[in-house]
Structure 1
Amino acid sequence: MFDGLAEAAAALGKAFDPPRLEQVVEALVPAIVFKPAGPEGPVAEGSQIGGTPDVPAGFVWPRPTPLADARELTGRANAEMGQEMLAHIEMGLPYAFVAQVDLGEAAKLGDVAANLPSDGRLLFFYDFPTGPWNTGTRSARVIWDTSPTGNLSQATVPDDLAAAARSELDELGDLRPDGKGGTNYGAPRRPMTLAATWRLPHPAALESEELLSSGTADKDGEAETFREDYEEALEAHHDGYTRELWRRQQLLGSPQPEQDDPRLEAVVVSKFGVQHLSREVWKERYPAIKAEAAEWTLLLQLDVGDWMQAEFVEGTVYFVIRKDDLQERHFERVVAVYQQT
């Protein structure tokens, strides 16, 4: 992560010779990151991760659309997890709230936020118990709320969602002796500030392909050495899987995949109506899928462990959207993709 291109060039110049340095700097991608709010305190109706959203009177907390065939979804998991998912689905619980983005704050960052609305808030919700097995639009809800800030107050968690959170904490028992941290149904509120940054694209992200494929003739192992140096630079500058997990919470920019670029999965679900393609079909259709994935963009990247503020929690949720849908503000078309290593 770098505050500017000059800073990036100076820092990366220690790792790369001039010809490669120019390529690496040109590959940097602008993004917005969430930083924990400083001692000056949170901003009312500002950006936050976890907690509950700031909403107008009459706000209805969203719930996933009922499934026509819940057992088809639960059958994607093992038997034990499938039973847990089925119980969750039958309760008809609301989504968990994950993040609030103050769009006015984002707009002040300049060009990096140009594709977002400049007023209101984006409210992000996700269904953690089923989402990992259900890439698509049902697992998430993104609401663009433009209510005047003077009319907002913190939402009250729905009773059934709060009860589910308490039940999960009880089940965790000795794993959470202090009772702190979140659950699949909610997480602690953390006020955040938004900051513009430049990031090295992850090797699995589409944005890195041209950089990492340049010079593939590999004279005397040069390409392999460059890739090793690049991955070391990722870790050194907090663009890999950093221990400071808040650095993985990101708005726009290039995703940091735990597997393949999540936009590829979004295309598969949207175009073919399935979670996964066979190896043969994937190989045959990959060029077209990759080309179509370039028409999608990351909206929000959420590190689940950091959101939940709990140990031994893995995974990342990527909220992705077609670029034209973002331009036309069709946030109901966001596709959520879950990955973990």
Structure 2
Amino acid sequence: MTEEALASRIEALGLGPFREEIIESAEACLSVTTSRDESRPCEIGSSKIGGDPDLPADLEWPRASENSLHFIAQFKLSELPPIASTSLPSVGMLYFFYDMNGQHWGFDPEDGEGHRVLYSECETGLSRRLPPDDIANDDAVLECHLQVAKSFSLPSDPPSGVSFEGDQAQWDAYFELTEGSHQLLGLPSEIQNPMELECQLASNGLYVGDASGYQDIRAKALEEGATDWRLLFQMDSDDDAGIMWGDGGMIYYWIRKQDLAAKRFEKSWLILQCY
């Protein structure tokens, strides 16, 4: 979506009086659209969601303590459209894995073993890897071709200077405008609450499934670091891929900006939100 297309959509939804404020709050991202075609398998090394991953020989399939993780998606970085202010490597493969049986929510420090993001500089010499024996076929995400395009993401709450003054139609229109799907980078399409502080505390050993972690004496010193967290990839529930997260929710892979710049993708954190 171009800025002109975003402006047109804002007008079409009746939010024209707030166009400038909304556009100013937008952040560049990459929208990811799936399509499924069983007669045409994805090429080895291409960007895709689901199926079996295309891995270099020296990259091991990631595991949690008791089971292998499920393959979610892979992206060929050299083919992604460039967007401003991105720290993604320009070359290589980025792989996303998740424990689909456990479906960890991300509020427990122990949830860190339930996902993994792997990076390889190799884009050639890859081979399609069958999953380990402890992953059943009916657990798999169905293979989908991807179309990745430049777009804009918006904050889940109206930006500063925008007040709908109880106008439910405008609130509904803004919700429709910000409703997202699969996406790399940018602002998340939040279903529940903001996730940055949750990532910061849980990844640093505090349980935030209730108020205890936020009230912990260590939380105050950690709070400032919440602003370092950035959305890396969000994956929506998807009929084409045969997957639903919770009750029609999303999974969000987050990473600190320092770790993204240093290619420390193993330091990512995952949050699951649903309705």
Fold conserved between structures, TM > 0.5 = yes
Match of 2:4 in 1: 6
> Where does the alignment leave 5 or more consecutive residues of structure 2 unmatched?
none
* SS of residue paired to 1:132: coil
1:12-57 C-alpha deviation (Å, 9 max, x unpaired): 1341344x22111111221112123599x64441110011111123
What fraction of aligned residue pairs are identical, expressed as a percent?
Answer: 27
Closer/same/farther in 2, CA of residues 11 and 305 from structure 1, 3 Å limit: closer
Closer/same/farther in 2, CA of residues 13 and 300 from structure 1, 3 Å limit: same
Closer/same/farther in 2, CA of residues 38 and 156 from structure 1, 3 Å limit: closer
Q: Take 1:307 and 1:290, find their aligned partners in 2: how far apart are those partners?
A: 39
Q: Take 1:145 and 1:56, find their aligned partners in 2: how far apart are those partners?
A: 8
What is the count of residue pairs matched by the alignment? Answer: 268
* SS of residue paired to 1:223: coil
Q: Take 1:265 and 1:297, find their aligned partners in 2: how far apart are those partners?
A: 12
Q: Which amino acid aligns with 2:6?
A: A
Question: How far did residue 287 of structure 1 move?
Answer: 8.9
Match of 1:85 in 2: none
Contact 2:35 2:240 in 1 (8 A): no
Q: Does 1:332 align with 2:266?
A: yes
Q: Take 2:4 and 2:96, find their aligned partners in 1: how far apart are those partners?
A: 34
Match of 2:191 in 1: 258
> Where does the alignment leave 5 or more consecutive residues of structure 1 unmatched?
67-91, 170-182, 217-221, 241-246
TM-score between the two structures when normalised by the length of structure 2: 0.83
**Equivalence map 1:212-227=2 (5 Å):** 213-214=160-161, 222-225=164-167
Q: Take 2:162 and 2:79, find their aligned partners in 1: how far apart are those partners?
A: 41
Structure of larger gyration radius: 1
Q: Does 1:141 align with 2:95?
A: no
Contact 2:28 2:84 in 1 (8 A): yes
* SS of residue paired to 1:10: helix
Q: Does 1:130 align with 2:97?
A: no
**Equivalence map 1:85-234=2 (5 Å):** 92-106=66-80, 109-112=81-84, 114-135=86-107, 136-149=111-124, 151-162=125-136, 165=137, 169=138, 183=139, 186-203=140-157, 208=158, 211=159, 213-214=160-161, 222-225=164-167, 228-234=169-175
* SS of residue paired to 1:266: helix
Q: Take 2:223 and 2:132, find their aligned partners in 1: how far apart are those partners?
A: 40
Closer/same/farther in 2, CA of residues 30 and 57 from structure 1, 3 Å limit: same
Match of 1:270 in 2: 203
Match of 1:27 in 2: 25
Question: How far did residue 144 of structure 1 move?
Answer: 0.4
Deviates more, 1:308-317 or 1:265-274: 308-317
State the superposition RMSD in angstroms.
3.2
TM-score between the two structures when normalised by the length of structure 1: 0.69
- The structure in which a higher percent of residues are helix is 1
Match of 1:320 in 2: 254
Q: Take 1:10 and 1:335, find their aligned partners in 2: how far apart are those partners?
A: 35
Match of 2:56 in 1: 56
Match of 2:15 in 1: 16
Q: Take 1:161 and 1:44, find their aligned partners in 2: how far apart are those partners?
A: 21
* SS of residue paired to 1:124: strand
- The structure in which a higher percent of residues are strand is 2
